[in-house]
Amino acid sequence: MLAAILKTMRPRQWPKNLFVFAALVFDRQLFSLTPLQRILAGFVLLCLASGLVYIVNDLADLPKDRAHPIKRSRPLASGQLRPRTAVIVAILLALLVMAASWALDIRFWAITTVYVATNIVYSFWLKHVPIIDVMIVASGFVLRVAAGVVLLTVMRFSPWLYVCTTLLALFVGFGKRRAEMVLLAEGANNHRPVLDGYTIPLLDQLINIVSGMTIVGYSLYTFSAPNLPGNHLMMLTIPFVIYALFRYLLLIQVNNAGGAPEELVLTDRPLLATFLLWGLSVVAILYLGP
């Protein structure tokens, strides 16, 4: 039962919560012990909060998941986990996350509360509204970044990173919707009703718009944010971002992948290598430069 509960909390999705580290890295506090400890505590709580959200989501989608070619193997849909047990676990997780978040920082508690509440509304209603569904998912990434900001005393964090996070999340979100439509084909709207409001050409157009905006937004950040080194070396990381976006486009439009972006990042070697090189470059420029 414990294994079924953990699987329902989807630990494979927890790397999304690494966005809480953005403020720590870009404010150049990565090697400061106290800020690192606070961010690590926030990361753990966000993982538990996202686990709570996934349990609620699976409870809300139980009938549809049973008819889905992949999701029917989930613990609730397959009968490995009883709905009553899932409800009890969700309540306990909510109490734990709220109490611990309050103890850590009241502003972090407020952001976590908004994150959980928004995603619960999303699970029962907003996930069925085209465009809004992807925007709500994108807001979750922005809230993760904001959660990291309030846990620190930031001096160099640029608001441009909120813009870049939003655009990147929208890009991945629309890509995921496209992959779902290709996977489910004619029965797409039966498994996820919101897909009835999309078409492949529309999603391709939205992806193209957002990808271009992401490149422009990140480029503007690298040479206009006042907190970056004055030598503009951060501009050298732009090619990594461009390649990562183009590689993801290739995967979703040629290979018909992208249904699980978090797994794609970890399994596609060129994409993983690009993210690692980008991360190492950013750290080197911010921490080893003048």
Q: Is 153 exposed, middle or buried (0-12, 13-18, 19+ CB in 10 A)?
A: exposed
pTM of the model: 0.88
Instruction: Kindly report the average pLDDT of the chain as a whole number.
Output: 88
49-87 pLDDT per residue, tens: 999 999 998 888 877 777 766 777 788 887 788 889 889
Same domain (yes/no): 134, 51: yes
Report the alpha-carbon distance of residue 282 to residue 276 in Å, rounded: 10
Q: Which of 122, 156, 190 is the last residue of a domain?
A: 156
Report the alpha-carbon distance of residue 237 to residue 286 in Å, rounded: 12
Supply angle C-alpha 24, 27, 31, rounded to 5.
Answer: 55
Higher pLDDT, 278 or 179: 278
Same domain (yes/no): 116, 186: no
Residue 226: pLDDT over 80: no
Q: Domain total for the chain? A: 2
Print the domain residue range for 121. Answer: 1-156
Pick from 108-117, 126-135, 152-161, 266-275 the range whose average pLDDT is largest.
108-117
Q: What is the mean pLDDT of residues 190-215?
A: 87
pLDDT at 183: 76
Q: What is the CATH number of the domain that holds 58?
A: 1.10.357.140
First to last CA, the chain: 53
pLDDT band at 266 (very low <50, low <70, confident <90, very high): confident
Same domain (yes/no): 218, 115: no
Query: Which letter does DSSP use for residue 28 in this model?
Result: T
pLDDT at 209: 95
pLDDT at 258: 65
Report the alpha-carbon distance of residue 188 to residue 143 in Å, rounded: 29
Same domain (yes/no): 151, 163: no
Same domain (yes/no): 135, 29: yes
Higher pLDDT, 128 or 191: 128
Q: Which of 140, 156, 172 is the last residue of a domain?
A: 156
> Please, how many CA atoms are within 13 Å of residue 23, restricted to the half-sphere of its CB?
26
Same domain (yes/no): 56, 152: yes
